[in-house]
Amino acid sequence: MPSANHYTGPTEVSGHPPVKSQTATVGVLLVNLGTPEAPTAKAVRPYLAQFLADPRVIDYPRWLWWLILHGVILRVRPSRSAHAYARIWTSQGSPLRVGSQSLARHLQAEFDRLGAPVRVELAMRYGEPSVARQVARMQQDGIRQLLVLPLYPQYSATSTGSVIDAVADAMKTLRWPPELRVVNDYHNDRAHIDALANSIRAWWAQNGRGEKLLLSFHGIPERYVRLGDPYHAQCLATAERLREQLGLSADELVVSFQSRVGREQWLQPYTDATVRQLAADGIKRIDVACPGFAVDCLETLEEIAMQNSDFFREAGGQELRYIPALNDSRDQVTSLAALTMRHLQGWLAP
């Protein structure tokens, strides 16, 4: 869902990329998680099937997980997830898709403003437009150097690693694949941290400040971290940089992890338990930001702004206020453009 202070670029961003961008030989492929086509069980089922069948996401033995996935999960979860999607669906469609498309258009406009011959496209790791489709399309249109930018600030094998797998699979199908680079993460990027801090300050200036700032990141199983995934450390590094930028004490900023599934231990503390504990401790008003999400989606708009808001009030708190993701804000556009230009060095003329 585009933020209220969305970036205003050249007027042509509302339609197709300008001719200059279509004739570029350098491409940038933004990749986000994905979304079902509609907030219905019928549409959610194939999306969940693709997502949960990814061995990067669930690494159980394939035969065992296939039985669990098709015998239990895909019989029950689509209806429940469809209800959650229906709560946030807009007249334009999925907030994640609408917001990601807007971000891609505004990033294209920024490159055009800079005079950089770069073509920007958007793909979804699960669902459409697929990574394979977009990589093939860009190659057919003459893109000879391709930078892949997963919209995950922190690296995890479950997210960025899965995007790398999808890109590699797509490249294997091409007779003459383009030269390839991938942005692994930007969790500690200075401009990105500045953008997050500016967003929170602006929100506080307009809405006042709560007693605590909670940073909720998507969780992963603790076992994945023990196997070498850097995600947990990168989340904590982002939180610490953001705390320093905002001038908060360690007591004023809390970190938690959301969206756990199954019985396995995930990264802790859990967000739902944290908001309940804050309420039990007498905290009446908290602000929640989700620095692991570039664009607002089900996990921020429904899980945090709705579900966890209910948990907080039921436990005795008064108000949980969600601070929107960066979405297509000017700070997000300019920070990603700067990040991308650094990674394109050597491919673009000075």
Which residues sit in the known binding site for Fe(2+)? Answer: 218, 299
- DSSP label of 93: B
Compute the half-sphere exposure of residue 261: CA atoms within 13 Å on the CB side of its CA: 9
Q: What contacts 49, CB < 8 A, 6 or more positions away?
A: 69, 74
Q: Tokens 């802790």 — which residue?
A: 268
What is the C-alpha separation between 296 and 322, in angstroms, rounded?
11
Collapsed DSSP state (helix, strand, coil) of residue 146: strand
**Which residue in this structure is represented by tokens 């394979």?**
132
Own/partner pairs, 106-109, CB within 8 angstroms, 24+ separation: 106/6, 106/7, 106/9, 106/13, 106/328, 106/333, 107/28, 107/30, 107/333, 107/336, 107/337, 107/340, 108/13, 108/17, 108/21, 109/7, 109/9, 109/10, 109/12, 109/13
The three-state secondary structure class of 155 is coil
Q: Which residues contact 345 (CB under 8 A, 6 or more apart)?
A: none
Q: Do 149 and 311 meet the contact criterion of CB atoms below 8 Å apart?
A: no
Q: Quickly list DSSP for 282-316.
A: T--EEEEE-TT-SS--HIIIIIIIIIIHHHHHHTT
End-to-end Cα spacing for the chain? 35
**Rounded to whole angstroms, how far apart are CA atoms 171 and 21?**
22
List, as residue ranges, the binding site: 218, 299
Contact 166, 32 (CB under 8 A): no
Q: Which two tokens stand for residue 211?
A: 């007693």
Distance between CA atoms of residues 28 and 105, nearest Å: 12
